[in-house]
Copies of this chain bind each other. A is one copy, B any other.
């Protein structure tokens, strides 16, 4: 008959001990004697008691849960960040809820709203490509809890963020191509609404300028940087004819282009040198191995999560936004 799960009241009745004492015993409060605790713990085990976290969360107004919003978990970079976040959260005793925006603003809004009504304690987010309006995030901050941005920077004051210096990394990548003798370098850029891609583009431009190479707007391609976009870009490159260098804002598009170029008889790096971004595992497998920028992805996760937990737990840091810029590294390989 009784197929509902046991509650503290079942323990309470079974032992004739008030439920408040049962609750305190289960939470190991010093207000309950060792003897009673043992009794209660034994009975709890016997009944197969499992705390109803919903009830507990409702009462304490704390869920010990962190929400993560990520564009897509299938990208290596993001899944590494998530692993870093989980690692840190696990140690601190937080649960983690992951939602994918699939680069859709609408879906991102829904996720934020769900996290809000599920009362997560804080939010880690890398915004979608479509996001230019931040009301949903301001709202979360005002009514939900702290937010820490990671990877993709956002033009908001009073928010913490963990990023890399995209401008500088890009500058280094482009300079590497120049040092290899490239004169006509194209750039694969992402959607400009994402500041990150804008910054990368500007790093590329700055490097060219520094070395007195004219900046040609026709050499800057813009797309979502899928593998197929890389293929399309490669077609353009063949049409241009004189290109000797590619600096791509991600490895995926770089690899798409390399595949197409190789299939069309272009030698890499003899004819065209390529530098990517992200250091995806695949970059070490493609031939020639792709020179790329390594980001501290896992570390980005642990640091972002640490910051968030600090914000959640220390009310005094409230409002203070501790942002960090992490170092990147050029991995020189054979492309």
Contact = CB atoms under 8 A, between A and B. Distances in A.
A119 B54 CA distance: 8
Contacts of A50: 113, 116-117, 143
A317 interface: no
Given A58-B58, A79-B79, A100-B83, A51 B281 contact: no
Interface in A61-107: 63, 72-74, 76, 79-80, 82-83, 86, 95-100
A116 B51 CA distance: 9
Interface string A231-262: 00000000000000000000000010001000
A52 interface: yes
Interface residues of A, number: 42
A139 B79 CA distance: 30
Nearest to A53: B117
Interface stretch (A16-24, A211-219, A282-290, A307-315): A282-290
A334 interface: no
A42 interface: no
A74 B80 contact: yes
Contacts of A55: 58
A99 to B, nearest CB: 8
Interface of A: 5, 48, 50-55, 57-58, 63, 72-74, 76, 79-80, 82-83, 86, 95-100, 113-114, 116-119, 139, 143, 227, 255, 259, 281-282, 285-287
